[in-house]
Structure 1
Amino acid sequence: MGGLVSDEVRDMIRSALADEPALGLEFEQVVEDGRKRRARRRLGALTAAAVGVVAVVAVAVSGTFAPTSAPPAGMLSTSPTTVTSSVAATPGCVTESMTGGFPDLPRGTATPAELAESGRLTEAFRQFPLPLPAGVEATPLRLCAIDGSWGGDFRLTGDRSVFVYVRPLGGQPPAGCVLYTPETRCSAKVLPDGSTARVTVEPGAEATLVSADVWRADGTYVRVTETGGRGSVTRVLDDDQLTAIAAAPQLKVQVAGGPVPPAPSDQRAAQLGSVLAAVIPPGLKVERTPADEALMFRVRQGGYRALANLTDSAGTGWVMVNLEKPGAGEVDCGGRATCRLVDLSGGRKAALDTVVEGGVTRLSLNAKAADGTWISVQTSNVADTGGASDAPTRPNPPLAEADLVRIAELPHLHW
């Protein structure tokens, strides 16, 4: 497992997006989501999967938002305007449930308060003079309701797009840097008003992605991301311009939200460290995967992930542990015939799935830590070879049910 999304699928997404307006759908996020979905399918993960590639392409062609009225036409002005204390009423909009590219999974619905805030934010942002280079214009931005948050995108002259995401700060502290690749560049600074800004640059052979995150002193969190299609490696906005958009006073959220846990960071991943090493049964050797994973936690998919191949005399298998941010909900089997509930310490429950198909055996255990962190532990008798083969590489998974339970009960395994 672990191979890249096929060139055919990449071309489908690129073709669907090539001649369409910006849609709140960031390509590299779709690709990464595709990798995660494929890994879950192959290893029998029974948590809810995100939208499939075909559905993503359909959204890209048919449109992303469900607005209550048509978006304004034309290009945004970059000349300064006066910001007044009140703005004209603008109909709000809702981000469709299948839309990707934002930190939150859209509900596809909105409360009256969220819809009103969507309209207010959209109208307020029209008053903001975008800091664009000479000769560059931008299409209008609509900030549509996502899930207690709002987001949208605008296209710049050329092939670059900018995605804007806002939500209440919820007491979340500023996060440290996350270096996804050796080429990633990250810097942070305190702004004059006491806000903290972080800029992350991810160069790539296909596209350069740049994000400015600002934990604002006015109680709002904003992420502004610039990206482009295949071959789009030249930025339009510099670090200061992206940060200025994220710090725009017009993006202050006026709807209260609940507490937000700390954002994932390399610092916390390092603190989790080698916590899993102590529960690997004697005789099993931890081996690196083709992606250089060796059971050390890294920031992945908005959470923390550790994976590795495990080898003994019976052959090589695979294990993956995911931590997702604390959230609501109870652990259950959802009516799956392959699942049963098992007891954990402290009265907690875990859902254990066992799937056997074509010689491949997959065990998946899903639980919640005491602080609400979602824990997923998966193992299979198919090694991670970096390819697409599903052929068994040992008779049974390297870890048994009791091993998965021990991992889920580790006291330091939490957000």
Structure 2
Amino acid sequence: MVTPGAGASDPAPGARSTVTRADLPGGIRLLTETLPGVHSVAFGIWIAIGSRDERPDQVGAAHFLEHLLFKGTGRRTAAAIAEEIDAVGGELNAFTAKEHTCYYAYVLDADLPLAVDVLADVVTDARLALTDVELERGVVLEEIAMRDDDPEGLVGELFDEALFAGHPLGRPVIGSEESIRAMNRDTLYEFWRGEYTAPRMVVTAAGNLVHERVEELAGAALAAAAARFDPGSVPVPPRTGATRPPAVTGPRLVLRSNDTEQAHLMLGVPAFDRHDPRRHALLVLNAALGGGLSSRLFQQVREQRGLAYSVYSAATTYADAGSLAVYAGCVPERLSEVVAVIRGVLDAVAADGLTEAELTRAKGSLRGGLVLGCEDTASRMNRLGRSELDHGRQRSISESLDRIAAVTGDEVSRVARELLSVPLTGAVVGPYDGLDELPAVLRELA
């Protein structure tokens, strides 16, 4: 079934864009966006499986597998995979998130058949040789070590661990050194064959393409995967809130001792899931709090007091949970003052909301960021995949812009009061041997 223009995205300047959908055998979904005027195509195979879907004995399997599938297939060695894409100047890569995994290629439009064939081969016919498992285990362990040397990224993972305590959303996507060392080939193979199913697959492509040609190429390349299922299999629907994380009831402060020059801090609260109609007001609130150079946190912490070089806020939404968090990095002796200023900003916004000028700037920032973020084929391909997996439909850029424009100051004020009036959860990475060495303003969270 082919549906032209269903939920089509808006065209880039000077171009006419068309989003078309088709249902392939086995429950595989295909979405393409034609962008005349470019000479490239971004092609992706998405799997509705991420780190939150792992069993306790599989922690880190989704990310480990993403690495491993590129190590060779029945038709190609790892070197051949790299050489074929390099020979056409293309890009081949993948990423794992908490709720999905994506394998993608970015090539000239004439090389789309090669990209489809290589990616489908990688996703559906990998060898998973024992020697490759051992080789890639070392690579993943190096990646974990690199993560541990990045205190800004590490403090974000610690914050999730504290906020979503006991829930899979609180686990790092990359896994732990212990879980990766314990991972065996059988566990990875079971995860691959059990979770990489046709009804969970979404294929997306954006660029200078003809939909019917992409449908032909993808259908043929993924025929083996589709054959394992009834041709009429129903695609897996978007996630719901059936497994919502429990409320934070234990200690709300975690510390990772690290011999760093700075103290890295993250403070935040639970927020809305991506299906909540208040999420657009949350995005506006986040933009005004710490989304740019004119945001209240940036101005108060950096510009007016010079307490930190980096300070920002972030709103994250999942199918059944979310968070609103503030990050700051500062020298340890200034941590107490930084915490006090951040809490003061959050309390003030909770009590009084945003000014009219802040509301206008935040909405304008979101609108500009949304449009500018969709100026290339890779971004368009990503938008297609995320919209299908997260919402089961395509949202046009105009629809998203209209929803942002419709957010009122009263809505933002209500969201701020609801979210910022609950106790904060905090995470710190820095040169502290124990919680007792942290400022008193933080220790009260423990």
TM-score normalised to the size of structure 1? Answer: 0.28
Relative contact order, higher structure (CA 8 A, sep 6+): 2
- Give the alignment's TM-score, normalised by structure 2: 0.27
Specify which structure has the higher proportion of strand: 1
Task: Report the structure, 1 or 2, having the larger helix content.
Answer: 2
